[in-house]
Structure 1
Amino acid sequence: MSISIEDFPQIWQKPSAEELLASLKKLQVEPPIWSPKTSRKIIIETYQNAARFRLEVAAYLSSIVSSSLGWIQDDDEKEALWDEASRRISERCGRAGMGEITRRWPLETQASSPFELIIREPPIIGDCLGLKTWGSSFLLAQSLDKIAEKSLFHLLQLGHPNPFLDVLELGSGTGLLGMAAAAIWQTNVVLTDLPSIMPNLDFNIEKNRSTIEILGGGVESGALTWGSEEDNAGQFSEKNQFKIVLAADSLYDDDHPELLSSAIDDHLMTDKDARAVVMVPQRDLVTKKLVVKFLSLMASSNLVVIEEHTLVGQDDWDDDREDSGVECWWAVFGRQ
C-alpha cells in the first residue's frame, strides 16, 4: 500500500513529537540491495519516491525543517525531529547527498553457494570518492568466476583453494571487488588504497572476514600511494610480488593513467603468466581518452592486452541520467 502524505500529521495540527518522528521513520529510504537482475531504474527509485510523490514529500519534510515546532516543549525533541527530517531530505538527493549507508551486495558463483558482502559507505565529503562503492566494482565482482575459468585458468582452479597465489587490488575503495575475489577464488588478496581511505576499508574487511574465510579465502590490507617510494617503504617496498593485480574504476583524473600503469608495473610479477585485470567505465569522452593514454603507457612498459571486453552495468552517482547503465571496458594484461 503506498504512503499518502495527506495521512501524515501536518504541522498546522501541532502533532506530538512522537507522532512526527514516527511519520519521518516511515519516509526513510533504505539503501538498495544490488542484484544482477536489478535495473538501474529500480536502484534510483529506491533512493527517490515516484515523481508524482516526490514534491509532496519534499514539501512535507521542508515544513518540518522550517518550523519552530513551538508547541513542543523539549528542545532535544525538536533537534531530533529537525535532524531526522534533514536526513530524509538528503536521502532523496542521490548518493552524493546521502550520509553514511550500509549496503548488502549479493554474489553468486558456479563453484560455491550464494553469499553477500556487507559494505559500509561513509558520507562522501569533498573528493573522497573511494568511500563509495562504484557499480563497476560490483560488475567485475560478478564476473570473477568466469574470468577464473577463461582468462586466468592457468593460475586459478575454481572451486578449490588457491593458497599460494598472491593477488593485489589497487584502489580498493570500500573493498567489494578485492573481498569478492578472495571469496570466489579461494585465495589471499591484499586490498590497498590511500591512507585516508584505509580506516573504512579495514572496517569493511573485518565486517566480512568470517564470510570470506568460511568460503576459503583470506584478506589483508595496506596503505599504498601510487608513485610514492617514501610512503610505500615498508609493506610494499619489495617490487613485483603479485601474480594477479586487480583494479576497477581507477581512471578518472589526468594523472591516473601514468600512476596506475606504473603501479601495475611495480607490483605485478615479472613472470610471463602473471596477469593484471583492469575495468574502466566509459562514462564520457574524457574517460575514453584516459583509457587510450593508459593503454599506451602500459605498452611502453611491455604490458600488453591479452584480451578485452565490454560489459554494461549500473551506478547510482548521477540520479538524473535517463539511460539504463554505463558501458564498462575491461581487459586482461600480461608481460610481453
Structure 2
Amino acid sequence: MSISVADFPQVWQKPSFEELLASLQLLRTDPPIWNSSTSRKIILETYQNTTQFRREVSAYLSSIIKSNLGWIQDDDEKEALWDEASRRFSERCGRACMGEITRSWPFESQAASPFELIIREPSIIGDCLGLKTWGSSYLLAQSLDQIARNSLSHLLDPGRSNPSLDVLELGSGTGLLGMAAAAIWETNVVLSDLPSIMPNLAHNIDVNRSTIETLGGTVDSGALTWGSDDGNAEQFDGKNQFKIILVADPLYDDEHPELLSSAIHAHLMADKDARVVIMAPRRDLTTKKLVERFLSTVARGDLGLAVLEEHVLVGEDDWDEDGGNSEVECWWAILGSKSL
C-alpha cells in the first residue's frame, strides 16, 4: 500500500505526540540485506528512490523539524520527534548520510559447507574507512582455502580443526576477512582495529559467531593501535604470540608502512614457520610506492621478513565517487623470516 504524507497529521493541526511519532515511524526505511555482488550505486539509488513521494516526504519532515511543537508540553517528547524526523531525513540523503547497509557474503570451501557472513556497515559519517567493507578483503577471503592448501600447508590442515593455532588480523574493519579465516581454517582468529571501529566489529562478530563455531572456528577481538601500547586490549600485552597475521588493504596513508611494520614485528611469532598474509590494492602510483616502502621497512629487524611468494588478483571496490564499482589490481604476498 502506498504511503501518502497528505494523509498524515499535519503540524498546523497540532497533532498529539503519539500521532506524529507513528507517522514518522511509517516513513522509516530499514536497510535490507544486500547481496555481496550488488553495487553500491544500486544500493544508493534504491535508498534515494524507496519513497514514492520523496519531495513531499522531505517537506513533511522539514515542517516537523522547523516547528517548535509548542502544543506538546513534554520537552522530552519534542526532542524525540525532532530526532525521529532527523533520522528519516538522513535515510534519504545519499551515500554520506544514508542508513546502515547490511550485506551477505557467500563462501565456498573444499573443507567446509557453503556459508554466508552477514556484515553491517554503519551510516558513514566523515571518512571512517574502517566502517566500509573493501573489495580486497573479500577477494583475499575467497582465496583462504587455496592459501591453506598451498602457502600455509605447513601450519594448517584443511578439513580438520586447528584449535591450537592463533591467528591475528590487523585492521579488521568490518571483520569479513578474519571471520572467514576462522570458519574456513577452523581455528581461532583474533580480530583487531582502532577503538572507534570496535563497536561495529563486535556487532558483526556476535551476528556471525554461531555460524563460525558450527564450522569449527572461534573468534575473539580487541582494540589495537599500531605503534602504540596505550589503550590496547589485554590480549596484546604479550609480544610475538601469533603464528599467522592477516591483513587486507592496510596502506593508504604515508604513515602506514612504518606503523604496519611495527605491528607485525610486535605480534608475529619469532618462528621460522610464522607467516604474514597481506593483500594491498595498487590503485595508483601512490599506493604502489606505499607497498614498496612497507616491504623495505618490514625486512628490517630481528625477524628479517621477506616475500616468500607474491601474486596479483583483480577485484572490485564499490566506493568510487559515483557509488559504482571500480576494478582494482590487488597485490598479495606471503611473508616469512629468512633469518631464523
TM-score by length of 2: 0.77
- Structure 1 position 307 matched with structure 2 position 306: no
Task: Report Cα offsets for 1:157-213 as digits up to 9, x if no partner.
Answer: 333212232211112234332122111211111222334544554454344333322
Contact 2:282 2:331 in 1 (8 A): no
Cα distance change on mapping 1:209 and 1:91 into 2, 3 Å = same
| Secondary structure at 2:190 match in 1 | strand
Cα distance change on mapping 1:272 and 1:201 into 2, 3 Å = same
Q: Which residue of 1 aligns with 2:255?
A: 255
Contact 1:187 1:217 in 2 (8 A): yes
Cα distance change on mapping 1:66 and 1:190 into 2, 3 Å = same
- Following the alignment from structure 2 to structure 1, what is the Cα–Cα distance between the partners of residues 324 and 67? 38
Deviates more, 1:206-215 or 1:255-264: 206-215
AA aligned to 2:311 is E
Task: Report Cα offsets for 1:274-320 as digits up to 9, x if no partner.
Answer: 3322233455554343233223323554421612223323445x6x4
- Structure 1 position 162 matched with structure 2 position 165: no
- Structure 1 position 267 matched with structure 2 position 267: yes
Contact 1:190 1:221 in 2 (8 A): yes
For residue 86 of structure 1, report the CA deviation from its aligned partner: 0.6
Q: Which residue of 2 aligns with 1:80?
A: 80
Contact 2:224 2:233 in 1 (8 A): no
AA aligned to 2:89 is I
| Secondary structure at 2:49 match in 1 | coil
For residue 134 of structure 1, report the CA deviation from its aligned partner: 4.2
Cα distance change on mapping 1:230 and 1:74 into 2, 3 Å = closer
Q: Which residue of 2 aligns with 1:107?
A: 106
Deviates more, 1:113-122 or 1:179-188: 113-122
For residue 154 of structure 1, report the CA deviation from its aligned partner: 4.2
> 1:53-72 counterparts in 2 under 5 A?
55-69=55-69
Cα distance change on mapping 1:63 and 1:112 into 2, 3 Å = farther
Q: Which residue of 1 aligns with 2:93?
A: 93
| Secondary structure at 1:165 match in 2 | strand
Contact 2:245 2:276 in 1 (8 A): yes
Unaligned runs of 5+ in 2: none
> 1:203-218 counterparts in 2 under 5 A?
203-218=203-218
Percent identity, please: 65
For residue 214 of structure 1, report the CA deviation from its aligned partner: 1.7
- Following the alignment from structure 1 to structure 2, what is the Cα–Cα distance between the partners of residues 89 and 143? 40
Contact 1:305 1:331 in 2 (8 A): no
Contact 1:279 1:328 in 2 (8 A): no
Cα distance change on mapping 1:181 and 1:121 into 2, 3 Å = same
| Secondary structure at 1:97 match in 2 | coil
AA aligned to 1:308 is H
Contact 1:309 1:331 in 2 (8 A): yes
Cα distance change on mapping 1:41 and 1:128 into 2, 3 Å = closer
Cα distance change on mapping 1:26 and 1:146 into 2, 3 Å = farther
CA RMSD in angstroms comes to 3.7
Q: Which residue of 2 aligns with 1:44?
A: 44
Task: Report Cα offsets for 1:116-159 as digits up to 9, x if no partner.
Answer: 44555666666654355445434433443343345434433333
For residue 255 of structure 1, report the CA deviation from its aligned partner: 0.8
Q: Which residue of 1 aligns with 2:225?
A: 225
Deviates more, 1:325-334 or 1:178-187: 325-334
Q: Which residue of 2 aligns with 1:14?
A: 13
Cα distance change on mapping 1:147 and 1:20 into 2, 3 Å = farther
- Following the alignment from structure 1 to structure 2, what is the Cα–Cα distance between the partners of residues 69 and 234? 49
For residue 218 of structure 1, report the CA deviation from its aligned partner: 1.4
| Secondary structure at 1:171 match in 2 | coil
| Secondary structure at 2:42 match in 1 | helix
Deviates more, 1:295-304 or 1:123-132: 123-132
Unaligned runs of 5+ in 1: none
For residue 251 of structure 1, report the CA deviation from its aligned partner: 1.8
Q: Which residue of 1 aligns with 2:328?
A: 327
For residue 89 of structure 1, report the CA deviation from its aligned partner: 1.7
| Secondary structure at 1:216 match in 2 | coil
For residue 97 of structure 1, report the CA deviation from its aligned partner: 2.9
